[in-house]
Each structure stands twice: as C-alpha cells, then as structure tokens.
Amino acid sequence: MNRRTHATLLTGLLLVAATTVGAQQRVGARPTAAEAQRFMEKIEKDLLDLGTRSGRASWVAANFITDDTEELSAQAQTAYSVAVQRYAVEAKRFDDAQLSAPLRRKFLLLKLALVAPPPGNPEEAAEMTRLQVGLEADYGKGTYCRKTAGSKDECLQLPDLEKILRESRDPKALLEAWQGWHTISRPMRPRYARFVELSNKGARELGFSNTGEMWRSAYDMSPQELERELERLWTQVRPFYLQLHAYARTKLGEKYGTQLVPPNGLIPAHLFGNMWAQDWSNVYDVMAPKASNAGGVDISALLAAKQVDAKAMVKYGEGFFTSLGLQKLPETFWQRSLFVKPRDREVVCHASAWDLDTQDDVRLKVCLVPTSEDFIVVHHELGHLYYDLAYKKLPYLFRGGANDSFHEAIGDAVALSITPTYLKQVGLLAEIPPPSGDTALLLRQALDRVAFLPFGLLIDRWRWKVFSGEVSPADYNKAWWELRAKYQGISRPSEATPEDFDPGAKFHVPANTPYTRYFLARILQFQFYRAMCREAGFTGPLYRCSFYGSKEAGRKLEAMLEKGAGQPWQKTLFEMTGERQIDANAMLEYFEPLSKWLEAQNKGTKLGWGQE
C-alpha cells in the first residue's frame, strides 16, 4: 500500500498542473528520444521524492486516525496524484517519438500509475483525494454499538465482529454481527458516488472512457482481451466451485436447518465464518469429513500450544523466505511495523504491506491474532515485501510487479507450502498425519482458495459497471447482490434498507483498490507453486509439496522478482513457469483428489442455485 505524495508541495503542483499542458502544446518541434529520456529522468526523480514523503504521511494516517492525519494524508496524496496526472498528460507529446522499448514501457506505466486519476482542476483534485482518504478512515473507524444489560452500550469494531463470525455457531449472533458491521458503510454512498464522478473525469483526461477501462488496460493487453481472459479462467474453475458450493450448502443445511439454508438455493452470507463470505475456512468444523483420521491439521491449535505471539508468527514467515536463500528483513522492519492492534488508538486493521521508500523501509501493518488465517496472511504479506526488496535497484517506474496479480500471488504461492511437512520442519507439528487426512487438508485449502474465486471476480465487475454508469448510485446495493447471487450463490441474510451500501463494508471499495488482481493471483499462485516444486525436485502429489529450504526454488523465485515491471508479464511468467498465459490447470491438478471426493459426496444433489 503506497500513497506517494507530500503536503508541502501541494500548492505549487496544483498551480503548475493547470498551466503546464498548454505551454507544452505550444511547442511545435517534434520531440526527440533524448528529450524523452531527460523528461523521464526528471519524472522518476520527482515521483520517488513525492512517493517517499507520501508513504510516510499515509502510514501515520493509517496508524493514528485523526482529522489532522486524514487531512495531511489527503494533501500528500493529492500532491502525488496531481504530479502523476500532470506528467502523464505532458507525456502525450512523446507518443510519436522513436523510443527504445524500455523507455516506451515507462511512458505506458506512467499513464497507468494511478488507480484514481484526479481531474486537472486543482479544487476537484483536492476534493477527490479528501473523499478517498475520508472513506478509508471511516472504514478504519467503523464501529457497531449495541444495547447491553448494563448501563453502557457495547461498541464493537471489525476484529470483534469477525471473532463472533469465526467462533459462534448461533445464527442470531452471526446475523447481528453481520448486520452490525454493514451499518458502518451507509454514510459512504453519496461520497463514493462523487468520488466515482471525479475519478472518471481524471481518467477521461488521460484518454480513457472511464476509470474501469483504465484499470483493464494495465495487463499488457486490451481491456476487451482481459475480459475474455477472465471469462476463460472462470469457465475453467466454475465446475469445481459448484461442487464445493453444493457440499457447503448441504453441510450448512444440516447445521442450521433447511429453513435457513434452502437445499437448492442461495446460502445466506453470514453463515460462512467470514464477514464477506470470501473465505469459508473458519467453518471447517461444520464442513469436516466424517471419516476417521480426517481431522487434518489445525494450525490455530498448534500456534496456541506453542504460545506463538504476533511477532513470532512474522518470524516464521521471514524464516520461510530466508530458507530459500533470500535476505533477512531489514532491522527497521521490526522497529517500525505494527503487528498488534493498539489499545490506545484507532488504526486501519486491514492487513497491508508497505514499501515507504522503494528501498529498504518496508513494513507490515496488521492486527494479528494467533490463528491459521493470520499465519497464512503473514506469509502472503511478506511476499509483497520480498518482491519490493528484490526490484529496488530498478528504475522507479519499474519498481512494481510484472502485473498487480504477480504481487498478490507470490506470498500465496509460499503459503501453499504451509503443509504438514513444513509445519513439522519448523517445529510446530510433531508428526505428519497419515494419507487418510489428505481429504481434510485439501478441503481446508479449497474453503479458502477456491471459495474466494467468484468473490475475487465480481467486485471489479461491479465497479466497472459503476464507473461506466451502467449502475447508478441508487442501484449500487441492488447490483452488488445480483452479482453475489450470480457468481457466489449467496444471499443477503436480511432485507436491505434504501440507505444500505454493502460494498462499502469491504475494505477494497472505500480504499479504491482494484480487485481483479486477487482473482488472477488465486490462479497464478498455483502456477508459481508448481514451478517451484518442480525446481525443488518434488515428484509426489502436488498438494503435498513444500519447497521450504530449497535454494533452487529460491533462485528461480528471486530471478522473477528482480524483473519487477520491466518487461511484459507474459515474458516473466514464461521464464518462471514455461507457460505463456495464466491458466487454472495447476490449481485443478492440485485439487484433483478433492474434486473426485466432492463429486461422490454430492451424488444426487442439485448443483447450482438457479440464478447463475
């Protein structure tokens, strides 16, 4: 999460932004490649400085939520965004210049550098960034207060409500927790609609029809080609998801009754142990196979038995990467990161990895608890930081993932190696379970990684409709639940009010973080994982592989990370895996034994829910 701007430069940049483009347009001579190179060197120097300053302002705003830190962060983000927007518009004069491939790529990445391009109008640019910072802060401060038997209300924030969803099996308590959190986003809708309007204006000034089209242009292919690729990938994985959904519906129906969980219909969203029904692993106890010796490995219990605290969880994550031959994290990482929710202030608890200076000042911001979910989160987030550290020597605009899904997939590929073998190697597990527990192991993984797929796909499909104007603010919530029914097969657990804005209860919407990257990463991670398992010399069933300790796999990984965004991602993927497109075959190979098992369990059960 990098916010690249600085408050003290705001006024000058805003004024320059309004005047520079016209001055450049008066230059009649065709620019040369040498001029383009000098222009790019200035851009990269300026943006590096602005980005470092912005990162620090944003870090403070996320860790000390006050009106003042919000304003300082908004000013800093505005300064950076306006600078990028100004430079991207100016850069159009080099469109016809004869440039080298790396330089041409830098100009393309400059144009795509912002996920929320501000309008050229200074007042509107400042307004848009204040809206974005305010929406994210509202999410971080989100609180649900309920009446208690005592004299005071009990006020709960997201970690408290998530704990209820994770641990309770009382449907009334689950419903209250779900509804309580979804009240925090109601005030966001009019401001989010205004944010969309301003962001679209900025995107049009860069030559895109709307912000959604700009997002879809960031994958070394046309927006139309990306949409076809997403549909192809969903077609590959959808049959497996339908099997998992049918099995989950049967098990939840047995637990809560078919009045609440219709045998052939949608599953209410509050029953999955996760606020957004994107990860079903917290209800594994409800889903677990009945066969003997099928308990699998409960990482939460292992962490509790060893009294592993938050910092120790991060040490385990670092240890995985260093076992591959990668460097230790900088000492400043341990001094400056946030691992536990403070008791004395509000913070944005959503887990995030921060690269503040594109060099060595990398940090985590996360409110860890010793659970299986957070153990995996640690490995995922450290994947971002090791990527950041690997490409730090590249030019500024190449310091990024080959595409944004690569950044997400690295840590998840490592997390796939959190197998019983790995847990034994690091001393968390005494004995590796027998093969009779393999179904349980795969089911746990599927409840996380496969259950997520339609959710990962639909969020941006909703936003693309919002950005294009196909969905109006009055229909935000209606369109959200139509997509969740179509793709996930879930329903809102209670009737919505006209004020509800349920998309805002998911961090990535108020934070304006594109989400297609997560869908692609869920598939791409299996390709990375299989490639590193092969490099490590593993020959057994794919799901049993751990490449922990393999220097060969580490060299393969680091070679990919060091490429950053300096070349089209298809080339980087081929060098890593031998494959030229993102493909679900590695995922399907991994889950093949579970797929056959689910088909047997679902025999005679209707797949689907009639709205897909």
373 tagged catalytic:
no
DSSP 208: -
H helices present in 91-170, as ranges: 101-111, 122-141, 158-167
- In contact, 118 and 202? CB cutoff 8 Å: yes
Q: Is the dihedral of CA 269, 273, 279, 285 positive or negative?
A: negative
164 three-class SS: helix
Catalytic residue of the set 70, 127, 162, 408: 408
Residue 296: which of 14, 543, 22, 528 has the closest Cα? Answer: 543
Catalytic residue of the set 44, 139, 508, 535: 508
Distance CA 106, CA 6 (A): 23
Phi-psi region of 440 (alpha: psi -120 to 50; beta: other; left: phi over 0): alpha
Catalytic residue of the set 18, 33, 351, 496: 351
Distance CA 360, CA 357 (A): 7
6 tagged catalytic:
no
381 tagged catalytic:
yes
80 tagged catalytic:
no
Both structure tokens of 543: 């799901």
Distance CA 94, CA 101 (A): 13
Beta 143-146 vs 154-157: how paired, if at all?
Answer: antiparallel
44 tagged catalytic:
no
Catalytic residue of the set 381, 487, 521, 553: 381
Distance CA 97, CA 31 (A): 6
Catalytic residue of the set 91, 380, 505, 565: 380
Distance CA 9, CA 70 (A): 17
Dmax (CA) for the chain in angstroms is: 79
Q: Where are the beta strands (DSSP E) in 407-538?
A: 490-491
Residue 186: which of 250, 142, 149 has the closest Cα? Answer: 142
508 tagged catalytic:
yes
Q: Give the number of residues written for the chain.
A: 612
Own/partner long-range contacts of 143-151 (Cβ < 8 Å, ≥24 apart): 143/184, 144/180, 144/181, 144/183, 144/184, 146/176, 146/180
Give the CA dihedral 257, 258, 263, 269, nearest 10 degrees.
-70
491 C-beta neighbours (distance < 10 Å), count = 19
Distance CA 389, CA 403 (A): 16
DSSP 562: T
Catalytic residue of the set 384, 413, 529, 586: 384
Q: Which residues contact 173 (CB under 8 A, 6 or more apart)?
A: 164
595 three-class SS: helix
Residue 340: which of 371, 312, 368 has the closest Cα? Answer: 368
Residue 109: which of 508, 406, 402, 514 has the closest Cα? Answer: 402
Catalytic residue of the set 350, 391, 402, 543: 350
Catalytic positions are 350-351, 380-381, 384, 408, 508, 518
